[in-house]
Amino acid sequence: MSAQDNDSCLGLLCDVRARDSVARVIEKSLDRFQRFDVVANCSGYGVIGACEDQDEHEIRNQFETNFMGTLNIIQASLPYFRQQNAGRYLIFSSTSGALGVPGLGPYCATKYAVEGLIEAMLYETDSFNVKATLVEPGFVRRDEPDTMPTPLPTWGHFLIKPASEAYAQATSPALHAKRMVQWLGDRQPTSAVKCAELVWQLAHCSYPPLRLLLGSYAIESIRDRLRSVTEELEDWKHLNFPVAPETGVEVDGKNSKADHDEFMADSIPDAQGQVTT
């Protein structure tokens, strides 16, 4: 941060992969402001390359940053949210948390993990008045130059790894992510500034959504994904319950299917993880 920090701004360095670093930032923030109401995590890192081409270090680093970093932040801050019976998380995920993108396999896996973590956590924290939203941007135009020295070319927070011979053909699906960022250049339809403004508004929303999609690409991609899942369910629904019959069966004096249907009806969560009864 610049020397122009004022009473409403505190600049601190934090390595989200290290719990001690996260805890130290939380403590210093509380010392300065006495409380906090919103935690936004937009840390992220990815490698563009085929799943087979990415080595263990690259894969682990993506999980340490994207998933463990998110978990470290939550575990360090949630006790304070519980104590004040209020709090909100704005967790930057990605459309890659709902879509498998060739060339971004491990990165997608980290985002899928984050999405599952937040969905599960909401059930646990609802009684503490702690809410969370997964922010899922599509392609976002970046206005800052790439200045971080790396041995590999970069695009934003992604390292672009050279393809091995098996995946080097121009038409290889594994090169999809690389072709995508090369084509995008300055064509990204969504502005980072506009995204920041929307997220700021989201922090003040009384009833925030579980997911916020940003950009036309994100909306259309997820809509296509949901349509595909629905069609697949319809195509294969004739194989539902291949062992048990559709009609109720008495098991130990109980109607298993009826009991299952009643349980499911009483356990359907709403968008923020509340269980309806």
Q: Is residue 9 part of a domain?
A: no
Q: Is residue 13 part of a domain?
A: no
Q: Is residue 184 part of a domain?
A: yes
Q: Is residue 254 part of a domain?
A: no
**What pLDDT shows up at residue 150?**
59
Instruction: Give the number of domains in the chain.
Output: 1
* Closest CA relative to residue 99, chosen from 90, 108, 107, 91: 108
Q: How many CB atoms lie within 10 A of CB 112?
A: 18
Q: Is residue 53 part of a domain?
A: yes
pLDDT band of residue 133 (cuts 50, 70, 90) is very high
Q: How far apart are CA 185 and CA 188, in angstroms?
A: 7
CATH code, 165: 3.40.50.720
Can you name the residues that pair with 160 across neighbouring β-strands?
48
**249 CB-near residues (< 8 Å, 6+ apart):** 255, 256, 257
Residue 153 backbone class (left: φ over 0; alpha: ψ -120 to 50; beta: rest): beta
Task: State how far the alpha carbon of 225 is from the alpha carbons of 38, 96, 230, in Å.
Answer: 31, 11, 9
Q: Is residue 49 part of a domain?
A: yes
Residue with tokens 């672009």: 160
Q: Is residue 138 part of a domain?
A: yes
pLDDT at 121 over 90: yes
pLDDT at 258 over 80: no
pLDDT band of residue 238 (cuts 50, 70, 90) is confident
Q: Is residue 59 part of a domain?
A: yes
| H-type alpha helices, 126-215 | 176-184, 192-202
Residue numbers of the domain that contains 77: 19-218
Q: What is the mean pLDDT of the chain?
A: 81
Backbone torsions φ then ψ of 243, nearest 5 degrees: -100, -50
Question: Which pairing describes strands 154-155 and 158-160: parallel, antiparallel, or unpaired?
Answer: antiparallel
